[in-house]
Chain A
Amino acid sequence: AQSVTQLDSQVPVFEEAPVELRCNYSSSVSVYLFWYVQYPNQGLQLLLKYLSGSTLVKGINGFEAEFNKSQTSFHLRKPSVHISDTAEYFCAVSDLTGNQFYFGTGTSLTVIP
């Protein structure tokens, strides 16, 4: 089975500052990796996903993530955050069959004006 660790439960950051949300995974097989976001009172929304190929993945709203196999990490980054980025972010992993998702505990990002 796979597992995901999100090291930071809460991340406060000032508006227009850069942010990195950390995600490490554990798996004995090859995996797909995902970041989901949940804005207040909304459902989970896919931000980006890594399937194969380029290790730098670009997603919606200016977010990107880099897959690092040697460090088993998939950190999410944005060079300049907006107030509207305030939300909870979930990292997730699945094996290549996609039969099940394993989510992390989530990171609450708060953007401070």
Chain B
Amino acid sequence: EAGVTQFPSHSVIEKGQTVTLRCDPISGHDNLYWYRRVMGKEIKFLLHFVKESKQDESGMPNNRFLAERTGGTYSTLKVQPAELEDSGVYFCASSLSHGFWANTEAFFGQGTRLTVV
């Protein structure tokens, strides 16, 4: 069974440019999460999809970030325009059910390392 896949693994862009990160969850997982780790800091929640609907986007830092999950399959996270403070590692996770941490397992991708210069 394929795991959670993220593309690209690394991205270096200039300030002001646009970047789109992609996450392919495990097939059949309705719940998809985005997290971000800024260097040296904790991994922080960004948002949660249930199928194609945004269940919780309380962690999105500002309106330069746009997440979509068309058709309830893969998800994209677009940053436009990128700023220096957006640099970090963006993780995606998926799970079968929510409230899942105890009852089921969340599976994480390897992350996308974004560097804004």
Taking Cβ atoms with an 8 Å cutoff, the residues of A that contact B are 4, 9, 32, 34, 36, 41-46, 49, 51, 90, 92, 94, 96-106
Closest to A51 in B: B102
Q: Which of B76-91 contact A (CB under 8 A)?
A: 91
Contact A105 B42 (CB under 8 A): yes
Can you name 23 A-B pairs with beta carbons within 8 Å?
Answer: A9-B40, A32-B101, A34-B101, A36-B108, A43-B107, A43-B108, A44-B93, A44-B108, A45-B108, A51-B102, A94-B101, A94-B102, A96-B102, A98-B99, A98-B100, A100-B56, A101-B35, A101-B45, A102-B42, A102-B45, A103-B35, A103-B43, A105-B42
Contacts A100-B56, A101-B45, A103-B43; A46 near B105 (Cβ below 8 A): yes
Cα of A96 to Cα of B101 in the assembled complex, Å: 9
Q: Which residues of B contact A102 (CB under 8 A)?
A: 42, 45
Q: Which residues of B contact A106 (CB under 8 A)?
A: 37, 42-43
Cα of A83 to Cα of B14 in the assembled complex, Å: 37
Contacts A44-B91, A98-B99, A99-B99; A4 near B42 (Cβ below 8 A): yes
Would you give the shortest CB distance from A106 to chain B, in whole angstroms? 7
Would you give the shortest CB distance from A59 to chain B, in whole angstroms? 12
Contacts A4-B42, A105-B40; A49 near B102 (Cβ below 8 A): yes
User: B51 at the A/B interface (Cβ < 8 Å)?
Assistant: no
